[in-house]
A and B are shown apart, each in its own frame.
Chain A
């Protein structure tokens, strides 16, 4: 069977294809590097004795951290443009925010705490779409202001001071926003309900039963599109049929051995 195919006999559903996982992890690593080295552009690590930690001396060198910041920026720019073009080309807009997402996010979060019934979700929960918009806009702000800062650093380029002043302020504000966004994104996994989504960004697939219950709209869509079908959808059923199959084989190979079960 070809890879990345939703095998109807399996208990998993492909949620994040390789391209999405590439975008996610390239962005994550780049943003992590950008935050670490960007904070180093404030005279922060020396002041708070971080550079005294073993192996952390380089954090106090502005020129090491700025060059690594550029490296992180290249990774982020690559991932961001890849993501935009890929999503447009394939017309994949599942993660793009929709009308009423704020209200729906509130309902989902409320349902998690009150153990109530949450609204039926598509491929992404409303709060995931909101988080995507927040992180996306923060990154866009950082990319635009960051590119102006890069241009400013080119020898001989002199930009007007008021432009630079506001650009710097916005880049610093963007830094605060993205740190908030990343912390919020990670905090989502403190909630047990969200954890089955985690394997999606590692192996690409998540539990079929989970999709059926929490992302019922998406599940229905997958069925409708013929990407999955209802045969053997029950996980326990799949497992017990596998067990039967193994037992059958054992029986065949152990003919004559009365002690075999």
Chain B
């Protein structure tokens, strides 16, 4: 297969990691690549300090955005053209002619810095928000992908395998922020039934899982000139986020959302206000396309009912067995009674050969 031949180093890393984690529950902490950088071998967290980010006002493109593009350029899609519409619909998602678009998430731009004006305490202020995948603790995208094309690394990094993805965009629909973006004309669907099914491949930030494996920090973290983005062991980052937020009497975003993520934003203005400002700006620009996420507070993880469902699923067979046992017992008794009724000589024995009836 073409797919297995050009297996990338990244894919190789991901697959060998997955293979090493055979068994029911994945044991975390088996890999120690990030220790070299002084990071823990367990779950990582990133801190995005909105009081420090100024959107790289003095640069053409924010440096984190530029570094992300540079680091991932070889992985950007090179679609086969002409693209086929998503039959029976009259559309196709194509960003290949907008590769330079850096103001939203696209298959060619996995992070961007949003900019809104927010009124807080009577004063209007500029807020710059670096946006990308939050790398959720219970990623709905990874769990609900119909082909299991999305993996979660022990570090917490969530990545899409472009060799497995069919491009149905379910991950984008179930993500509270609609993060993954689709490019048509690439991926496995081209080898199956490109006229009828599939839509391309979904792309998003993978926390530079390849750099983490080498003990290096993600590209956006190491290039930020303001030190607004940092990475470290999850619990340390969480503690630091709340400590800093307390110092500035500010707010934390990402700890509770979607059941917990590995990205912690801190801000001096409430995230409700930022969310409202993003919504208002999008409405004024009539921007309904995916790729510019809001910041809904405490957005619920749709799979939070999963535990109850599993318990019910475990209980159902026992219930079925119990009812069957009772029913079978009663009908066996009933059969005996019937036989006696039909044939008074029958003593109600278990015999099935019927000899006694002759």
A interface with B by C-beta (< 8 Å): 2, 5, 17, 19, 41-43, 47-49, 62-63, 66-67, 70, 73-74, 77-86, 89-90, 147, 150-165, 167-169, 172, 224-226
Q: Does A226 lie within 8 Å of B343, measured CB to CB?
A: yes
Cα A17 to Cα B301 in complex, Å, equals: 45
Contact with A along B254-271 (1 / 0, CB 8 A): 000001000000000000
Cα A152 to Cα B88 in complex, Å, equals: 33
Of B16-24, B33-41, B74-82, B121-129, the segment with at least 4 beta carbons within 8 Å of chain A is B16-24
Cα A225 to Cα B355 in complex, Å, equals: 8
Q: Does B320 lie within 8 Å of A78, measured CB to CB?
A: yes
Residues of A within 8 A of B86 (CB): 47
Cα A124 to Cα B51 in complex, Å, equals: 76
How far is the CB of A158 from the nearest CB of chain B, in Å? 5
Contact residue range for chain B? 35 or more
Residues of B within 8 A of A42 (CB): 146, 168, 170
Q: Does B168 lie within 8 Å of A47, measured CB to CB?
A: yes
Contact with A along B314-358 (1 / 0, CB 8 A): 001111110111011101100000110111001000001110010
Most buried by B among A78, A89, A153: A153
Q: Among B25, B169, B305, B357, which residue has its beta carbon within 8 angstroms of that of A226?
A: B357
How far is the CB of A71 from the nearest CB of chain B, in Å? 9
Q: Does A47 lie within 8 Å of B89, measured CB to CB?
A: yes
B192 at the interface (CB under 8 A from A): no
Identify the closest chain B residue to A46 (Cβ). Answer: B173
Q: Does A2 lie within 8 Å of B338, measured CB to CB?
A: yes
Cα A33 to Cα B312 in complex, Å, equals: 17
Most buried by A among B144, B259, B309, B338: B309
Residues of A within 8 A of B146 (CB): 41-43, 168, 172
How far is the CB of A79 from the nearest CB of chain B, in Å? 7
Residues of B within 8 A of A226 (CB): 339, 342-343, 346, 354, 357
Q: Does B26 lie within 8 Å of A155, measured CB to CB?
A: no
Residues of B within 8 A of A67 (CB): 305, 309
Q: Among B14, B174, B324, which residue has its beta carbon within 8 angstroms of that of A89?
A: B324
Q: Does A83 lie within 8 Å of B324, measured CB to CB?
A: yes
Q: Does B143 lie within 8 Å of A90, measured CB to CB?
A: no
Q: Does A80 lie within 8 Å of B306, measured CB to CB?
A: no
Residues of A within 8 A of B357 (CB): 224-226
Cα A229 to Cα B145 in complex, Å, equals: 59
Q: What are 30 A-B contacts defined by CB distance under 8 Å?
A: A43-B173, A47-B86, A48-B88, A49-B89, A70-B312, A77-B317, A78-B317, A78-B319, A78-B320, A80-B320, A81-B316, A81-B321, A82-B320, A82-B324, A83-B320, A84-B321, A84-B324, A85-B324, A86-B328, A89-B328, A89-B329, A90-B328, A90-B332, A147-B313, A153-B306, A155-B307, A160-B26, A161-B152, A224-B353, A226-B354
- A5-B338 contact in complex given A158-B26, A160-B21, A161-B148, C-beta closer than 8 Å: yes
Q: Among A62, A66, A162, which residue has its beta carbon within 8 angstroms of that of B173?
A: A62
Cα A19 to Cα B330 in complex, Å, equals: 11
Residues of A within 8 A of B354 (CB): 224-226
Q: Among A62, A70, A150, which residue has its beta carbon within 8 angstroms of that of B144?
A: A62
Identify the closest chain B residue to A38 (Cβ). Answer: B146
Report, nearest first, the 9 A-B pairs whose CB atoms are least far apart. A161-B18, A81-B320, A89-B328, A43-B168, A226-B357, A81-B317, A85-B324, A77-B316, A160-B21
How far is the CB of B335 from the nearest CB of chain A, in Å? 9
Residues of B within 8 A of A154 (CB): 303, 306-307, 310
B302 at the interface (CB under 8 A from A): yes
Q: Does A43 lie within 8 Å of B169, measured CB to CB?
A: yes
B298 at the interface (CB under 8 A from A): no
B8 at the interface (CB under 8 A from A): no
Cα A152 to Cα B319 in complex, Å, equals: 23
B304 at the interface (CB under 8 A from A): yes
Residues of B within 8 A of A162 (CB): 15, 18-19, 21-22
B59 at the interface (CB under 8 A from A): no
Identify the closest chain B residue to A90 (Cβ). Answer: B328
Give residues 84-129 of B contacting A (CB, 8 Å): 86, 88-89
Residues of A within 8 A of B301 (CB): 155
Identify the closest chain B residue to A70 (Cβ). Answer: B309
Q: Does A74 lie within 8 Å of B316, measured CB to CB?
A: yes
Most buried by A among B88, B143, B320, B338: B320
Residues of B within 8 A of A86 (CB): 324, 327-328
Contact with A along B160-183 (1 / 0, CB 8 A): 000010001110011000000000
Residues of A within 8 A of B168 (CB): 42-43, 47
Q: Does A77 lie within 8 Å of B320, measured CB to CB?
A: yes
Cα A160 to Cα B18 in complex, Å, equals: 6
Cα A78 to Cα B14 in complex, Å, equals: 38
Cα A81 to Cα B230 in complex, Å, equals: 53
Residues of A within 8 A of B306 (CB): 150, 153-155
Q: Does A80 lie within 8 Å of B309, measured CB to CB?
A: no
Q: Does B319 lie within 8 Å of A155, measured CB to CB?
A: no
Cα A67 to Cα B325 in complex, Å, equals: 29
Cα A78 to Cα B319 in complex, Å, equals: 7
B151 at the interface (CB under 8 A from A): yes
B31 at the interface (CB under 8 A from A): no
Q: Does B320 lie within 8 Å of A79, measured CB to CB?
A: yes
Residues of B within 8 A of A157 (CB): 25
How far is the CB of A218 from the nearest CB of chain B, in Å? 13
Cα A165 to Cα B301 in complex, Å, equals: 22
Cα A57 to Cα B301 in complex, Å, equals: 22
B223 at the interface (CB under 8 A from A): no
Residues of A within 8 A of B259 (CB): 155
Cα A81 to Cα B323 in complex, Å, equals: 9
